[in-house]
Chain A
Amino acid sequence: MSENTTQQTQTASTDDRSPTDDRSPTDDRSPTTTAGETVEQTREEWTEYEFRGETKMAVEDLDVHYGDDHALKGVSMEIPEKSVTALIGPSGCGKSTYLRCLNRMNDRVSSARIDGSVTLDGEEIYQDGVNLVELRKRVGMVFQSPNPFPKSIRENIAYGPKKHGDLDTGLLARLLNRSDADERDELVERCLRDAALWDEVSDRLDDNALGLSGGQQQRLCIARCLSVDPEVILMDEPASALDPIATAKIEDLIDDLSEHYTVVIVTHNMQQAARISDQTAVFLTGGELVEYGDTDQVFEDPHSERVEDYITGKFG
């Protein structure tokens, strides 16, 4: 299928040199945008990606407006279960917006208007009666800059389950001898182990989380996200504020997490996307999904010339 499209592209560029369909890699006269991006028509089949396994989340014709700004234009893609999906693209291309649509975090932006459909395990999440608490428990999120609460490490992990009533360690529970302190400590240990942080912090769980290093804070945020037992983990450039060693740890962690969780990660770093992801979606300026496919195919043999330019560093 993918080879077929590639051939079509090449045929089109060599045989049919119509001005609207001009994407020859050797053609110097191809029109460019101010950012150095070549103008080309996006083809629907570039974003059709067929995979084995179950579909975890499916997005259909998603449009997002921030006021008058059309941030995301008709994006459709399916995200396979228990894999790593990377979203790449230049700044302002809408990849973070897309990510925030997957757990309805954009609802918190008052100017945002969202049209289209997003399903989680076949259930529409943009309909009346959706329980946002349940949705966000099942679709967790890790942010660009580490944002632990100004509480102890233990409190940070236990925060979500406590607020959902799964853990009760309050005064009343302790007085009635119904405290879940043991369950909490088990949960804290499990989450920290899963986030590869346990060995570094096991002896100082009562210390304030703000005293950790940036990389440790980010892994704590991942552990905190794991504490509510999500199915999908959304990561918005989780390593962009970290040094290379901390980044490597996060990348290893993402690899481990993909065995049990569906991971969707936005990144600016194309090498990172190539290293850790199973499939890659490329968003380009204007909020379009230009290409979506197997990571090896997207990086080695992209259908779109603009994607190739972006990946090889000609713009972005």
Chain B
Amino acid sequence: MAGASEADAQLVEPNTTETDAVAGVAVGLSAVLFALAVAAMFERVSLTGSLFGVQTVTLLGGLLTALGVAVIAFGAGSRLGYVKTTPDPSAGLIAGIGAAVPWVVVGGAVASQTLGLGTTVGAVAGIATGGVAFALTVLPREDLGSTLPLGSLLALTGLVFLTGVIGPTWVWELGWAQQAAITAEFLIPVATLFTTLYGGWASAKAYGGFGARGRHMGAYVLVYLNALSIVAFLFILVAFVVVQGIPGLLNGAEIGLGTGPQTTILGISVTLPVSVPFVMNGVALFNDFQGVLPAIVGTVWLVAGAVALAVPLGVGAAVFLTEYADRGRFTQVVEVATNGLWSTPSIVFGLFGFAFLIPRFGNGKSLLSGMITLGFMLLPLVVITSREAMLSVPDEYRDASAALGVSKWQTIRSVVLPAALPGVVTGVILGVGRIAGETAPILLTMAGGTFVPGSQTVDVIGGFQFTASPPFVANPALLEATSALPYQLYALISAGVGASSNVGNADEFRWATALVLLIVVLSFYAIGIATRYYFRRRLTHT
């Protein structure tokens, strides 16, 4: 408590508030630098261009130098007593190792490459530099130890960029047998990213006044920057696909009454008011715009079939394993087997389908074989997650139901299963995400041609026919080869130039296919998440 009140007393001094502000600005500066570095890495910011009227590299260098100087100034100010802080005696071993690693790289690189002294001398120099950085971090008091080596690292990196030693056109040929070089486009963002992480950590520690609170602030900033970068990578990835895919997707798209193709919904013929040829056409010689409709429909049916096969089987197996089978050797073996099956490579499932299913279903690739193969792939995950979900249903529910004289099966059906459903659905969502993007199994079991005409769009519902002899039902649509989006994408990429002239701008076509695949998978996710939300709501709100 005494320490806390001391800190409170410091807060009212105007002097401390100013330094607090300076440290806060340093933390903000590192966040900005971090964002800039991520943007530069993905070429959203051009290194050769300029930002706010300043050359990008110069700007990065200047900001890095400023951050480094600020960090050092704060540490030195604290050590000399100009700033009141509560530092520990040492920054600690982990901080020491953290500071030593970049200095080893810097020392080694400068000695062996810039000064041209050779590999051995470079290694020795690197270790020596790292050792000095380690000692400077560990030996002095925490305020100096956690700022001086890192601040100098930042300032050095900044100065290198600022003075143009490493400019936008800098290249380091590695001189290996293979062509390999480190370019400025790669080095500058990565170096900025790493040094900024250090700078943010050090200035956050300074902001917290070192000591326990400083360490807390440092960890906080590191965790935040990490989370931000993960979200940023994800966002950039999706944005990249969208930006590249949109032109191809909207190729020839029209909105307005009577523009779309005619479809029959419940026996009524309707002309759709939107026309997006890419998702409404197949590939044909006289099409104005080519599309991937057969692959989209193929993917949807494929996933629907796999889910219809795997979910009842998997949930049934999970009910048996959790509610009926005694826990022992048998359930353990089943558990190991299902986990093993889930990690089995998909091409193995594909080979199984190719060797076992195809000869049994008309000796040719077919939608049905693809559905069953992917169903088998989905099965283990459904078993695993359903089992977990049922095990986490409280035994109190089962006891309460048994005490009312309700039989076991009725208890499972009306108490255990509803309570476990959200968990089961989560498992299915995860599994569908995997199988919807699977290429290898469908390549072997179901895929037809690369460019599928729209007339070959699979029609499972309309394909059912009644026959005079047992089994009285036939569905040729299920037994025909068809396409699916991931396979289509793979085929487009490997088809080569000659074949792709068929679709005009082949690159656009590929990216649009990728975008459609992403949209289809994300819609499956959305359906799954909505279902889970519905079942969860029923459990807690009614």
Contact = CB atoms under 8 A, between A and B. Distances in A.
Given A152-B542, A163-B410, A208-B541, A140 B399 contact: no
Interface in A277-310: none
Interface centre among B405, B407, B410, B418 (most CB of A within 10 A): B405
Contact of B403 (A105, A145, A150, A164): A105
B405 A137 contact: yes
Contacts of B403: 103, 105, 136, 140-141, 143, 225
Contacts of B410: 163
Nearest to B393: A150
B406 interface: yes
B542 A221 contact: no
Interface string B439-482: 00000000000000000000000000000000000000000000
B415 interface: yes
Contact of B540 (A133, A149, A150, A163): A150
B415 to A, nearest CB: 6
B6 to A, nearest CB: 42
A159 B541 contact: no
A152 B402 CA distance: 19
Chain B: interface residue count, which band? 20 to 34
Interface string A147-178: 11111100100011001100000000000000
A136 to B, nearest CB: 4
A140 B540 contact: no
A136 B397 contact: no
Interface in B485-542: 539-542
Given A208-B541, A210-B540, A147 B399 contact: yes
B394 A147 contact: yes
Interface string A211-228: 000000000010011011
Given A151-B542, A210-B540, A145 B402 contact: no
A133 B405 contact: yes
Contact of B404 (A155, A160, A206): A160
Given A147-B396, A147-B400, A207 B405 contact: no
Contacts of A206: 542
Contacts of B419: 150
B404 A228 contact: yes
A138 to B, nearest CB: 8
Interface centre among A137, A147, A206 (most CB of B within 10 A): A147
Contacts, number: 74
B269 interface: no
A108 interface: yes
Given A143-B399, A149-B415, A163-B410, A224 B404 contact: yes
Contact of B402 (A105, A110, A134): A105
A207 B396 contact: no
B8 interface: no
Nearest to B536: A150
B173 interface: no
B13 interface: no
Given A147-B399, A151-B542, A135 B415 contact: no
B414 interface: yes
Contacts of A105: 399, 402-403
B404 A140 contact: yes
A75 B23 CA distance: 75
B401 to A, nearest CB: 8
Given A110-B326, A163-B410, A206-B542, A149 B400 contact: yes
A159 B402 CA distance: 12
A132 interface: yes
Nearest to A154: B542
A207 B400 CA distance: 20
Contacts of A143: 396, 399-400, 403
Nearest to B541: A208
A155 B400 CA distance: 14
Contacts of A227: 404
B414 A221 contact: no
Contact of A163 (B400, B406, B542): B406
B321 to A, nearest CB: 16
A143 B399 CA distance: 9
Nearest to B415: A149
Contacts of B542: 151-152, 155, 206-208
A153 B400 CA distance: 15
A208 B540 contact: yes
Contacts of A207: 542
A179 B421 CA distance: 28
Interface string B364-405: 000000000000000000000000000000101101111111
Contacts of A228: 404-405
B542 to A, nearest CB: 4
A148 B406 CA distance: 15
A147 B397 contact: yes
Contacts of B405: 132-137, 160, 164, 228
A181 B314 CA distance: 35
20 contacts: A105-B399, A108-B402, A133-B405, A133-B406, A134-B405, A145-B396, A147-B397, A147-B399, A150-B419, A151-B542, A152-B542, A163-B404, A163-B407, A163-B410, A206-B542, A207-B542, A208-B539, A208-B540, A221-B400, A224-B404
Given A133-B407, A210-B540, 6 more contacts: A105-B399, A148-B400, A149-B401, A151-B542, A163-B410, A224-B404
